[in-house]
Amino acid sequence: MRELLCSKIHKATVTEADLAYIGSVTIDSDLLERIDLWEGQKVLIVSNTSGARIETYVIRGEAGSGQICINGAAAHLIKKGDEVIIIGFKFSDKLIEPKCIYVDGNNKFLRYL
């Protein structure tokens, strides 16, 4: 088995960074549906703005909200307004076709990559 890319949101904009929350990333549920990420699934978040890389897990946000909220200690590294890539992986013994999307500045779906 190998860990492979299964999902990616490219060029999302962080809408909130909440130090008081106990960890994770909140993502608009419409985006989660498009790329088949589950609540609780581990993701890698890469900031195109600062270069920071963090691993955390997904919390389902309100549909249509465009919400990308970095929660907990990670908010020290990735701030509101930062541009990020959110990457999900899964284990497989076969090649898989990842679901990767590009979003606009309001985190609305533009197209599949």
Please give the positions annotated as active site.
24, 57
The helix (run of H) or strand (run of E) holding residue 29 is: helix 29-35
CA distance 30 to 51: 26
CA distance 65 to 54: 23
Distance CA 15, CA 80 (A): 5
